[in-house]
Chains A and B, each alone.
Chain A
Amino acid sequence: MSEQRILNPPAEALPGLPVDEGEPAFFEPWQAKAFALTVSLNEAGFFAWSEWTEAFAAVLAATDAPMAEARTAAYAEAYYRSWLDALEQLIGRHKVADAAELNFIAQTWKRAAEATRHGTPIRYEAGLP
Chain B
Amino acid sequence: MSHDHDHDHGSGSHLDDMTARVMALEKVLTEKGLIDPDALDAIIDTYETRVGPRNGARVVARAWTDPAFAEWLARDGAAAIGSMGYTGRQGEHLHAVFNTEEVHNLVVCTLCSCYPWSVLGLPPVWYKSHAYRARAVSDPRGVLAEFGLHLPAGTSLRVWDSNSEMRYLVVPRRPEGTEGWDMEALAPLVTRNSMIGTELALAPTAQKASQP
Are B132 and A14 in touch, CB under 8 angstroms?
A: yes
Q: Are A52 and B24 CB-contacts (below 8 A) given A14-B132, A14-B146, A39-B89?
A: no
Nearest CB of chain B from residue A84's CB, rounded to whole Å: 6
User: Using a Cβ cutoff of 8 Å, how many contacts connect chains A and B?
Assistant: 212
Are B44 and A35 in touch, CB under 8 angstroms?
A: yes
Choose among B22, B126, B164 the residue that contacts A30 (Cβ–Cβ < 8 A). B22
Are B193 and A19 in touch, CB under 8 angstroms?
A: yes
Against B, the Cβ 8 Å flags (1 = close, 0 = not) of A41-65 are 1111010111011101100110011
Are A9 and B138 in touch, CB under 8 angstroms?
A: yes
Against B, the Cβ 8 Å flags (1 = close, 0 = not) of A93-115 are 00011000111011101100111
Are A10 and B36 in touch, CB under 8 angstroms?
A: no
Q: Are A43 and B89 CB-contacts (below 8 A) given A29-B19, A118-B13?
A: yes
Give the size of the chain A interface in residues (CB under 8 angstroms): 79
User: What residues of chain A lie closer than 8 Å to B126, measured between beta carbons?
Assistant: 14, 17, 19, 70-71
Choose among B35, B125, B146 the residue that contacts A40 (Cβ–Cβ < 8 A). B35
Q: Which residue of A lies closest to B20 (CB)?
A: A106
CA distance A96 to B110 in the complex (A): 30
CA distance A62 to B147 in the complex (A): 28
Against A, the Cβ 8 Å flags (1 = close, 0 = not) of B1-20 are 00000000111111111111
Query: What 4 A-B pairs have minimum CB-CB distances, sorted nearest first?
Result: A70-B129, A105-B24, A49-B90, A57-B111
A-B contact pairs, 17 of them (CB 8 A): A7-B138, A8-B134, A9-B134, A12-B131, A14-B143, A18-B147, A25-B48, A28-B18, A35-B43, A49-B91, A53-B163, A65-B130, A70-B132, A71-B129, A75-B128, A107-B20, A109-B23
Q: Which residues of A contact B (CB under 8 A)?
A: 1, 5-10, 12-14, 17-19, 21, 23-26, 28-30, 32-37, 39-44, 46, 48-50, 52-54, 56-57, 60-61, 64-67, 70-72, 75-77, 79-81, 84, 87-88, 91, 96-97, 101-103, 105-107, 109-110, 113-118, 122, 124
